[in-house]
Amino acid sequence: MAYELKKLFSSKLILICLALLAAVFGLLVRHAYENRITDSDETAAFLKELDESGLSDEKKIELVEERISDIQTLIEKGENIQKIQGVYGSLLADAMIYAKARIFVKRMLSEFPGARKRLIMEAYYNLDALGKDPQSDKREAALNELIIEKYNRKIDISLTMTGELTSVTDTFDFSVWDVAFAIFVIMLTVRMFTMDRAAGAAIVIFSTSTKRRCLCVTQIFTVFMSSAVILAAAVGAEVVCGYLFCGVTDLSLPIQMTASFEFCPFLLSVGDYYLLKFLCGLLFCLTLICVTALLCILFRRFLAVMPLSVAIYGVLFAVYCVFRKSVVFDRVNALDDRFVLFRCLRTFLPVALTDLKMYLTSLDHVWIISRYVPRIAVCAAVSVLISFVCVAVGVKLYGRRER
Partner 1 sequence: MNKRRITALSLSACALLSACRGKAEVTEKYIDPTEASQQIQSMELDTVVKRAEEGFYDDKPMSQANAGVTTDGQYLYDFGSGRNYRVDLQTGQVSGFCRIPGCPHSTGTYGCLDFEHFGSPVATDKGVYYIEENKVMLCDGQTSTCVYTNDYYTQHEQKVRPDHPKDLCAVVIHGNTIYAVGCSFCIPLDRNTYKASEPIQLSDTSILRFSADDRYVYFINQNDEFFCYSLSDNEITKLGDKVVISRQYEGQTYYIQYKEGTPILYRFEDPASTHDKVIENCYVLFAITNGYIYYQHYSTSDIDRSNDELDFTLYLYDMATGEIKAVPGYDPGKRIDIAYSPMIDKIFTIDVRNSMGGYISGKICAFKAGETDYKVIDVEF
Please report whether residue 270 would count as binding partner 1 according to CB under 8 A.
Answer: yes
Choosing from 39, 58, 66, 156, the residue that interacts with partner 1 (CB under 8 A) is 156
Q: Measuring CA to CA, which residue among 21, 399, 77 is closest to residue 217?
A: 399
**Which amino acid appears at position 226 of this protein?**
S
Q: Tell me how far, at minimum, the Cβ of 363 lies from partner 1, in Å.
A: 3
Q: Tell me how far, at minimum, the Cβ of 209 lies from partner 1, in Å.
A: 23
Asked if 191 and 302 touch (Cβ cutoff 8 Å), the reply is yes
Asked if 321 and 314 touch (Cβ cutoff 8 Å), the reply is no
Sequence-ordered strand ranges (E) for 29-95: none
Binding-residue pattern over the window 93 to 122 for partner 1, x denoting contact by CB under 8 A = ------------------x-x-xxxxxxxx
Q: Measuring CA to CA, which residue among 359, 356, 351, 346 is closest to residue 317?
A: 351
Residue 160, judged by CB atoms within 10 A of its CB (0-12, 13-18, 19+), counts as middle
CA–CA distances in Å: residue 332 to residues 241, 316, 328, 362? 33, 21, 8, 17
The residues, any chain, with a CB within 8 Å of residue 133's CB and separated by 6 or more, are none
Asked if 47 and 161 touch (Cβ cutoff 8 Å), the reply is yes
Please report whether residue 56 would count as binding partner 1 according to CB under 8 A.
Answer: no
**Which amino acid appears at position 139 of this protein?**
R
Q: Tell me how far, at minimum, the Cβ of 22 lies from partner 1, in Å.
A: 17
The residues, any chain, with a CB within 8 Å of residue 103's CB and separated by 6 or more, are none
Q: Tell me how far, at minimum, the Cβ of 275 lies from partner 1, in Å.
A: 4
> H-type helices in 136-269, by residue range?
138-151, 165-172, 176-199, 202-205, 209-245
Residues 302-361 that bind partner 1 (CB under 8 A): 327-328, 331-336, 339, 361
In angstroms, rounded to a whole number, what is the distance separating the alpha carbons of residues 308 and 208? 29
C-beta closer to partner 1: residue 174 or 278: 278
| Cβ neighbours around 336 below 10 Å, total | 14
Please report whether residue 58 would count as binding partner 1 according to CB under 8 A.
Answer: no
Choosing from 88, 263, 299, 302, the residue that interacts with partner 1 (CB under 8 A) is 263
C-beta closer to partner 1: residue 151 or 177: 151
Q: Tell me how far, at minimum, the Cβ of 90 lies from partner 1, in Å.
A: 28
Please report whether residue 253 would count as binding partner 1 according to CB under 8 A.
Answer: yes
C-beta closer to partner 1: residue 273 or 317: 273
Please report whether residue 5 would count as binding partner 1 according to CB under 8 A.
Answer: yes
**Which amino acid appears at position 284 of this protein?**
F
Counting residues that bind partner 1 (by CB under 8 A) gives: 64
Choosing from 15, 59, 62, 125, the residue that interacts with partner 1 (CB under 8 A) is 125
Q: Tell me how far, at minimum, the Cβ of 9 lies from partner 1, in Å.
A: 10
Choosing from 262, 308, 378, 393, the residue that interacts with partner 1 (CB under 8 A) is 262
Specify the stretch interacting with partner 1 by CB under 8 A; choose among 181-189, 270-278, 344-352, 376-384.
270-278
Choosing from 172, 182, 365, 394, the residue that interacts with partner 1 (CB under 8 A) is 365
C-beta closer to partner 1: residue 51 or 336: 336
How would you label 300-330 residue by residue, b for 16+ Cβ within 10 Å and e otherwise?
A: bebeebbebbbeebeeebeebeebbebbeee
C-beta closer to partner 1: residue 273 or 313: 273
Asked if 283 and 350 touch (Cβ cutoff 8 Å), the reply is yes
Contact residues: partner 1, CB under 8 A = 1-2, 5, 111, 113, 115-122, 124-126, 128-129, 143, 147, 151-156, 225, 228-229, 232, 235-236, 239, 251-254, 259-260, 262-263, 267-272, 274-275, 278, 327-328, 331-336, 339, 361-365
